[in-house]
């Protein structure tokens, strides 16, 4: 990927402090002409009243049994697939049925959850799936009920103990399917996890999915926007597209899901993960970028990142 080398060089040359300023210049950027009529008309279905869901690209529910077509979720495509991801807020108690209806309607095979139901003593997401093996949860009313049963649970790998993979059997009047539920348990709200390649490994585990991947945290913009941004940049690079102007890429993301990537720490994490991916995991391909000068720049970049985000 010839676009990788200039991107790495630009990131090292720009440095952490300048990337922070780059984000802050766009911290409040939203798409011109954005409308939020459905959001305003369904206040009881919104977790946070200051996190709007734009009308453009929102998931319009058509599942039988629903009296309303609204859910706080938008499509966010990549270079290869205009509906690669669905970015959503974490379900409320009164939106669980809508959430599962969306998963069925959009033929979702994989759900990525980037939060815990309770964090720092605050409710961040309703417990919308069963915790015990063979336990069944039912949503909605007959004849349009949706039943979700836990089949089994495992860790993603010995190295990725922070990610639980739960197999769920989802049944409704017209059919049934198995959905994989992947929960990342230690990504702090408004913060960043420790820097390893968990994000890359998580995304790689979903690459075989042909249908939209449903991603959510609590609000569906911070952690959700960050993980989707990593895939977004990867896909653009694989397509040979220029990714030098990361601030413009942030605008592209937010044109689909406003407020994606909430703060400078998450913006830095996006860069940190991609640097680690190219310069550490794929050192054989891109290691020549680490000349003596660049090696010093990389070490300083990592050091400055740790200080800025209070992480490793």
In a domain, 196, yes or no: yes
For 114, 171, 184, 270, the CA distances from 193, given in Å and listed in that order, are: 11, 35, 10, 11
Give the separation between CA 274 and CA 108, rounded to whole angstroms: 27
In a domain, 19, yes or no: no
Q: How confident is the model at residue 79 (pLDDT cuts 50, 70, 90)?
A: confident
In a domain, 131, yes or no: yes
In a domain, 279, yes or no: no
Reported as a single tens digit per residue, the pLDDT across 292-306 is 888 999 999 999 999
In a domain, 272, yes or no: no
How far is it between the farthest Cα atoms of the chain?
68
pLDDT at 311 over 90: no
For 73, 84, 190, the CA distances from 209, given in Å and listed in that order, are: 19, 9, 28
Reported as a single tens digit per residue, the pLDDT across 255-275 is 999 999 999 999 999 999 999
- Give the count of beta carbons closer than 10 Å to the beta carbon of residue 134: 10
Backbone phi, then psi, for 163, in 5-degree steps? -115, 120
Number of separate domains in the chain: 1
Reported as a single tens digit per residue, the pLDDT across 86-103 is 999 999 999 999 999 999
pLDDT at 66 over 90: yes
For residue 297, give every residue at least 6 positions away whose Cβ sits within 8 Å of its Cβ, in sequence order, or none.
12, 13
Is 118 buried (19+), middle (13-18) or exposed (0-12) by CB count in 10 A?
Answer: exposed
Give the separation between CA 43 and CA 50, rounded to whole angstroms: 11
Task: Return the active site residues.
Answer: 217
Give the separation between CA 281 and CA 261, rounded to whole angstroms: 25
In a domain, 297, yes or no: no
- Which pLDDT value is given to residue 80? 81
- Which pLDDT value is given to residue 312? 67
Give the separation between CA 84 and CA 60, rounded to whole angstroms: 16
The domain in which residue 199 lies consists of: 29-263
The structure's pTM equals 0.96
- Which pLDDT value is given to residue 1? 62
Reported as a single tens digit per residue, the pLDDT across 26-59 is 999 999 999 999 999 999 999 999 999 999 999 9
Higher pLDDT, 12 or 284: 12
Among 186, 47, 72, 216, CA closest to 119: 186
CATH at residue 203: 3.90.190.10
């Amino acid at each position: 990927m010839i676009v990788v080398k200039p991107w790495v060089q630009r990131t090292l040359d720009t440095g952490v402090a300048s990337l922070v300023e780059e984000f802050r210049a766009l911290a409040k950027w939203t798409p011109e002409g954005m409308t939020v009529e459905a959001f305003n008309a369904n206040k009881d279905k919104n977790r946070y009243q200051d996190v709007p869901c734009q009308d453009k690209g929102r998931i319009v529910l058509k599942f039988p049994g629903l009296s309303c077509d609204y859910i706080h979720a938008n499509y966010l495509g990549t270079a290869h697939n205009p509906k690669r991801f669905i970015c959503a807020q974490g379900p409320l108690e009164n939106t669980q049925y809508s959430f599962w209806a969306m998963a069925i309607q959009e033929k979702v095979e994989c759900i990525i959850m980037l939060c815990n139901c309770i964090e720092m003593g605050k409710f961040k997401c309703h417990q919308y799936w069963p915790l015990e093996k063979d336990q069944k949860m039912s949503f909605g009313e007959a004849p349009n009920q949706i039943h979700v049963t836990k089949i089994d649970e495992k860790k993603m790998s010995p190295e990725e103990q922070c990610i639980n993979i739960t197999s769920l059997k989802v049944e409704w009047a017209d059919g049934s399917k198995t959905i994989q539920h992947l929960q990342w348990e230690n990504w702090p709200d408004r913060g960043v996890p420790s820097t390893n390649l968990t994000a890359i490994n998580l995304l790689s585990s979903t690459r075989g999915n042909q249908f939209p991947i449903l991603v959510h945290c609590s609000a569906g913009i911070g952690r959700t926007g960050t993980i989707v941004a990593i895939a977004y940049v990867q896909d653009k690079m694989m397509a040979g597209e220029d990714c030098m102007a990361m601030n413009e890429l942030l605008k592209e993301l937010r044109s689909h899901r406003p407020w994606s990537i909430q703060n400078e720490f998450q913006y830095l994490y996006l860069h940190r993960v991609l640097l680690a991916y190219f310069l550490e995991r794929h050192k054989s391909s891109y290691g020549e970028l680490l000349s003596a000068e660049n090696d010093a720049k990389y070490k300083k970049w990592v050091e400055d990142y740790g200080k800025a985000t209070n992480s490793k």
